[in-house]
Structure 1
Amino acid sequence: MTSAAEGRFHMVDVSWLTSVRRRAILRTDDGVRIEAVHEPRTASVTDTASGGASHAPSLTASLTASDTAIVVAHGFTGSVDRPALRRAAGVLRRHADVVTFSFRGHGRSGGRSTVGDREVLDLAAAVRWARELGHARVVTVGFSMGGSVVLRHAALERGADTRTDAVAAVSAPARWYYRGTPSMRRVHWLITRPMGRLVGRYGLGTRIHHRDWDPVPLSPVEAVPLIAPTPLLVVHGDRDPYFPVDHPLSLVAAAPAGAAELWLERGMGHAENAAADGLLDRLGAWLVQP
């Protein structure tokens, strides 16, 4: 299909039926090209033709965009086509249309990863695209690094086209520079050492910026008090090998009284790889509630 400009967004690949699935390249406010995918809600049994004999989705329901879009922010070294993200998106699509994208430096997106700083602009571009596609309500969910990004985005982005209507952070850190677990010490080696960045680029498909933060961005725990009155959910596993449970407890404690909900999941590990389908289903239901 011939490439064509579409407003702020450059459409580079569209599936056989454009009203069902869209793949686009978005441009952030600082000029980075971000790959993104929009997929419609999966029709449920209640969307099928009357009579109850068939459980196949009705075509009409599949072609009708839902009022809500869930924008999903992946973890560090993830991308829009990674199996764990595709599985999570598939479960969330039971509840609403879903937008997935690759952060800068990941997948086919341009630029280099700043590990949670400028990525707020990537998420803002994805939210803006969801609203351009006609969704009146747009909500965000992020995993690990993506969790820190959705928190900072909810605190910092208040524009009509880039704000979120609800936010869920899964396996997110509360503070920067945490090295208290072996897993995080390996991540810091990957980010801060030239050899680590080579491993990231050629072994993990992630291009990491070599410059230190200057200035240091607002941390997730500093962002939380600025999110209200936007609904906030913090989800964390009690067996997370990267961030122990003091991180989610700190995030919830930083919110105004009653402004944040905590789900501490027994036996869960880290981020989208560890999120069971049942948890993702509950998460989707929470995100779409009025």
Structure 2
Amino acid sequence: MGGVTELATAYPCRLVTSDGVGIDAAHTPYRQTGRGAEGLAVVLAHGFTGTWRSRDTRRIAHVLSGYAGVLSFDFRGHGRSGGHSTVGDQEIHDIEAVVRHARRIGYDRVAVVGFSMGAACAVRHAALMGGVDAVVAVSGPSRWYYRDTAPMRQVHWAIERPEGRLLARVFKRTRILSRGWDPVPEEPREVISRIAPAPVLIVHGDADPFFPLEHAEQLHAAAGEPRELWVEPGYGHAESAASPALIHRLGRWVTTARPLPAVAPEPAAPPLGHGLAAGPEVAPC
């Protein structure tokens, strides 16, 4: 992601999840560009082995801070956060801690923008815990255990093999839980419909080397309204491939995203024989 030389200031903070994990986070205030919305926060959820301190994530936060305040963080087991990565399961508690912090410091609306693993976590958090006003899932999987691409086979090797977890810890500062899921968490495609009426945006590149377009199409098909699907020509995977133009479009989307208005139920007809005379001449008051 080029085009940004001076990054907006990020103010680090330390949060604690409901299950006691320390989360390293940062707040980048809205830069008052006139393009954004007062009172809106974007929670930025990175991909597997990522960190909010990486150059790519910082640049994304910088661009988005032209539209809203941005709260970035490291998932459990990543970077300077505590605990171990559960690769999409318990990370919903991490997002919840950041969303609650955004509310505490005065934001009225909160949108979660997730990339790759962060996209799966954003979907699952909004579906299972609620409390957000919009969700953007970029380069996210629709289902677990996908191994049909070489990069995903490498990811599974890093998660499942002791030597893979060792290399992830040494070279990526990512500590992965050694035991597998028990029980297996619900997949993003199984829960995404529960986000409605909050709006959902699915973004995926047609050149994604990790997850083919079918993942985005499955998520979009399963989501409730309002929902959108953006298929980005030539876009690869997650933060490293995101162009400034795409991030600006995401910023504009989150400033305008709103839930569908509630539809009032039809009033029930009064039962016959309830003190009302029968016949066409008599109407309820």
- TM class by shorter chain equals 0.7 to 0.9
Residue 137, structure 1, aligned to residue 116, structure 2: no
Other-structure match for 2:277: none
Could you say if the C-alpha distance between residues 182 and 21 of structure 1 is closer, same or farther in structure 2, counting changes exceeding 3 Å? closer
Amino acid at match of 2:12: R
Partner of 2:13: 24
Give the equivalent residue in structure 2 for 1:3: none
Give the corresponding residue for 2:123: 151
Q: Aligned pair 1:43/2:15, yes or no?
A: no
Give the secondary structure class of the aligned counterpart of 1:35.
strand
Q: 2:201 aligns with which of 211, 225, 233?
A: 233
Matched position secondary structure for 2:181: coil
Q: Which runs of 4+ in 1 moved over 3 A?
A: none
Q: How many residues align?
A: 249
1:264 to 217, 227, 231: 231
Q: Given the alignment of the two structures, is residue 164 of structure 1 paired with residue 153 of structure 2, yes or no?
A: no
**Aligned counterpart for 1:275 among listed residues 218, 222, 242:** 242
Measured after TM superposition, the shift of residue 254 of structure 1 is: 0.8
One-letter amino acid of the structure 1 residue matched with residue 101 of structure 2: W
Query: Residue 288 of structure 1 is aligned with which of 251, 255, 269?
Result: 255
- Stretch of structure 1 that moved more, 21-30 or 185-194: 21-30
Q: Using the alignment, how far apart are the partners of 1:243 and 1:94 within structure 2? A: 30
Distance 1:36 1:213 in 2: 26
Among 76, 80, 90, the residue aligned to 2:48:
76
Q: Determine the C-alpha separation between the residues in 2 that align with 1:280 and 1:22.
A: 21
**CA–CA distance in 2 between the matches of 1:138 and 1:157?**
14
SS of aligned partner of 1:66 = coil
Question: What amino acid is the match of 1:270?
Answer: H
- In structure 2, how many angstroms separate the alpha carbons of the residues matched to 1:244 and 1:264? 11
Q: CA deviation at 1:42?
A: 1.6
Counterpart-to-counterpart distance in 2, 1:180 and 1:105: 26
**What is the distance in 2 between the residues matched to 1:66 and 1:255?**
28
Per-residue deviation, residues 141-172 of structure 1 (Å, max 9, x unmatched): 000000000000110113xxxx1100000000
Larger Rg: 2
AA matched with 1:39: T
- Candidates 170, 173, 182, aligned match of 1:202: 170
Query: Percent identity over the alignment?
Result: 53
The answer to whether residue 159 in structure 2 is matched with residue 191 in structure 1 is yes
SS of 2:30's equivalent?
Answer: coil
Q: Distance in 2 between matches of 1:255 and 1:113?
A: 26
Task: Give the whole-Å Cα distance in 2 for the aligned partners of 1:69 and 1:250.
Answer: 28
SS in 2 for 1:111: coil
Q: Which runs of 5+ in 2 are unaligned?
A: 1-8, 259-285
Tell me the CA shift for residue 21 of structure 1. Answer: 4.9
Structure 1 portions without partners, runs of 5+: 1-19, 48-60
- 2:93 paired residue number: 121
2:110 maps to a residue whose letter is: V
Structure 1 residue 205, shift from structure 2 partner:
1.0
CA contact (8 A) 1:151 1:167 kept: yes
Who is 1:34 aligned against?
23
Q: CA contact under 8 A between 1:40 and 1:66: conserved in structure 2?
A: no
Q: Structure 1 residue 24: deviation in Å? A: 1.1
The residue identity in structure 2 corresponding to 1:279 is L
